[in-house]
Amino acid sequence: MSFATEVKAELVSVENDQNCALAQSYALLLFGRAFSGRELSLLTENETVAKAYVEAIRRLSGADVTPEVTGAGNYKITVEDKRMLNAVMTATGHDAPIRRRVNFAVLPDEACFAAFIRGAFLACGTVTDPEKEYHFEFSVSSKGLRDDLIKIFDEFEPVPKTTERAGANLLYFKHSGDIEDVLTIMGATECSMRVMGAKAIKSVKNTVNRKVNFENANLKRTVEAAGRQRDAIAYIQKKHGFDALPEELRELARLRFENEELTNSQIAKMLPESITPSGVNHRFARIIRIAEQLKEKDEKQ
């Protein structure tokens, strides 16, 4: 089951009072495939939404309609009966000629606004799986209807963005916090928690990845530095012996020569004198310089 399907299933289960039930049903019909004095229709792959659309028609017209299952497995609902259409238009305050715009008189309060958004999402909304990306949108039939929906969102905190794609007028949210808020406003609180949980997991993963990358980079630098140290010490030992080094560097060189896998911090603890890892690193740098000088001198001779 997709995340969008889960959201719609939760929305359908939200209980409404009489006014909010009217607002939700109104939006579900208004944002469907067709809304006019000649036809009401919806095409959806979601059986739950199809049932909610049928219930909305029953609520507003008092009559039943049976969905048609298409060859592709979608649910198509069409109403062309004049009596049913007139009843719906009367219940939603639409007089002839029918304009496909929101009749705000049907929405008396903020709770009804939330119910209206819920119905609009059931009809034309979708949301991606938050574990993959954050995207929540309404695909609306006209700019005017989209602008009316924006006005309803003005009653709440999230500010939607708009664009057009393939002839559709989109109202969308891309920020996880906005998506959480819209889901909560609509009543999909469990799905809103899913978004929060996915965001928390992503944050932990990102933190772990940054730490792993940082540690890997440090390890790489440590290995490369230890390699340079071993090469320098091996050259000195082979060509000149440790006596070629100042006394304070001989024990350090011997320890590295015999313990290639140890870090500077570990070697610092093995020295007879107290010295910091930074001090050890500084002394290794001196050993490398001495090896380079000896090698240059040997090559000249």
Chain segment 105-120, per-residue pLDDT in tens = 999 888 999 999 999 9
pLDDT band at 139 (very low <50, low <70, confident <90, very high): very high
- The whole-number pLDDT of residue 142 equals 93
Return the minimum-mean-pLDDT range out of 90-99, 153-162, 198-207, 285-294.
198-207
CB 268, CB 276: distance < 8 Å = yes
Whether the predicted pLDDT of 294 surpasses 80: yes
CB 127, CB 7: distance < 8 Å = yes
Mean pLDDT of 20-37: 96
Going by the DSSP 8-state scheme, the letter that residue 105 receives in this structure is G
Question: Which positions ≥6 away from 246 have C-beta within 8 Å?
Answer: none
Whether the predicted pLDDT of 101 surpasses 90: yes
Whether the predicted pLDDT of 225 surpasses 90: no
Count Cβ atoms below 10 Å from residue 291 Cβ, excluding itself.
Answer: 24
> Which tokens in the block code for residue 167?
């002839």
- The whole-number pLDDT of residue 30 equals 97
Whether the predicted pLDDT of 295 surpasses 80: yes
Whether the predicted pLDDT of 155 surpasses 80: yes
Q: Cα(first)–Cα(last) distance of the chain, in Å?
A: 78
**How far is residue 138's CA from residue 172's CA, in Å, rounded to a whole number?**
6
pLDDT band at 175 (very low <50, low <70, confident <90, very high): very high
Question: Which positions ≥6 away from 73 have C-beta within 8 Å?
Answer: 45
Whether the predicted pLDDT of 261 surpasses 90: no
**How far is residue 169's CA from residue 191's CA, in Å, rounded to a whole number?**
25
Cα-to-chain-centroid distance, residue 131: 6
Mean pLDDT of 191-195: 93
The structural domains of the chain, ordered by start, are: 3-187 (3.10.28.10), 208-300 (no CATH)
Classify the phi-psi angles of 214: left when phi > 0, otherwise alpha if psi is within -120 to 50, otherwise beta. alpha
- The whole-number pLDDT of residue 279 equals 85
**How far is residue 229's CA from residue 231's CA, in Å, rounded to a whole number?**
6
- The whole-number pLDDT of residue 300 equals 78
Whether the predicted pLDDT of 262 surpasses 80: no
Mean pLDDT of 139-151: 94
In the predicted model, what is the mean pLDDT of the chain? 90
Better-scored residue on pLDDT, 287 or 262: 287
**How far is residue 72's CA from residue 63's CA, in Å, rounded to a whole number?**
27
Q: What is the pLDDT of residues 226-258, one digit of tens each?
A: 788 888 888 888 888 888 888 888 888 888 888
